Structure 1
Amino acid sequence: MKAREFLEILHIAERLKDTLRHCTTSKGRVESVAEHSWRTALMAFLLRNEFPELDMDKVVGMCLIHDLGECFTGDIPVFEKTENDREEEEASLNEWIKSLPDDISTQLSELFIEMNAQVTKEAKLYKALDKLEALIQHNEAPISSWSENEYELNKTYAFDIVKFSDWLMTLRKEILNDTMKKIETDKS
């Protein structure tokens, strides 16, 4: 890859630093998509010993790139995102990927195909971490930043996604414990 091509890819990806998400940080600042992707990748990195049979470099890569489509469309909360929104994001992302140098284009295309198919354990783990990170962030954020529907969503979200792993199911239950404590503290 030429240095200029490398820089152009980074310039597009930099947009995620300014693309804001629905979640806020523990101090109440609205987080960026880049921050979410970074912590999702960190989660994968930290879980290498829990999933030794998986290609964790691939999972980290999936976590790093999973929201690149939001460079073009912005972030739409899961409970507001329509099928049309998903199609627009995927079309914009695919158009950009096709414009990249062949080796990078092929690598990204293959990863996104695997991620979307949700067949491999690597793809399932990335998807679970993506969902769990959002729940963890909500629990860390001030409860005043939660929308009304998030009280129930934080209790039920992602249980179906983690069921392939006992370890992730245990983690999801711990996250639920944190959610319930947060809600109870708010009522006090």
Structure 2
Amino acid sequence: MRPERLFEILAVAERLKCNTRHSWTSTGRRESVAEHSWRLALMALLVADEFPDVDCGRVVRMCLVHDLGEAFTGDIPAFEKRRQDETHEAALLARWVETLPEPLRAEWRSLYAEMEALATPEARLYKALDKLEAVIQHNEADIATWLPLEYDLNIAYGADEVAWNGYLRRLKEAANEISRQKIAAAKEQAPDDAGK
């Protein structure tokens, strides 16, 4: 790939460093989309031994590119995102992918189609980890950054996506236990305000 073309692609990806998510970090600042994608890819590496029949290299690639559409639209929290938003983001991303040089274009077309279909263990693992990472990040943030609706949402978020695998279900339950403890502690400190 020509250096100039590489730099153009990286310039689009760099937007994910600037685009923030609804999530907060443990130090009290907004998390960037790039930080979420990086840690998601790291999660895929860390759990690879639990999935010996899954191509975790492919999962890592999915994790790294899954939110590139947000370079064009920014992040819309899951509880606000509508089907129309998803369609718009997918169209912008697909248009951009068509400008990529081969063989990258074909590889990413294939990755995005697989991720959308959720028919392979790789795609299902990526999607489950994506949801789990968001729950874990919420648990690491100060509960004062949570919206009231997130008290229930953090417990429910990702339950369907992890249902296919025992290890993922155990991870989700462990994360849920941390959420429950955070919520209980917040309610003890401010019984009139927490969980409204």
The two structures have a TM-score, normalised by structure 1, of 0.99
Distance 1:155 1:47 in 2: 21
Aligned residue for 2:14?
Answer: 14
Aligned residue for 2:38?
Answer: 38
What are structure 2's unaligned runs of at least 5 residues? 189-196
Distance 1:143 1:43 in 2: 23
Distance 1:96 1:178 in 2: 39
- Aligned AA (1:121): P
How far off is 1:102 after superposition?
Answer: 2.1
- Aligned AA (1:91): A
RMSD: 0.6
1:1-188 mapped onto 2 (5 Å cutoff): 1-188=1-188
Q: Aligned residue pairs: how many? A: 188
CA offset digits 1:72-121 (Å, max 9, x no partner): 00000001001111111001000100011021111111000000000000
- Aligned AA (1:7): F
Distance 1:67 1:91 in 2: 13
Distance 1:182 1:18 in 2: 29
For 1:49, what is the secondary structure of its paired residue? helix
How far off is 1:158 after superposition?
Answer: 1.0
Aligned residue for 2:194?
Answer: none
Distance 1:82 1:154 in 2: 19
How far off is 1:157 after superposition?
Answer: 1.3
Instruction: Indicate the structure whose relative CO is greater, using CA pairs within 8 Å and at least 6 residues apart.
Output: 1
Which 4+ stretches in 1 moved above 4 angstroms?
none
Distance 1:159 1:183 in 2: 18
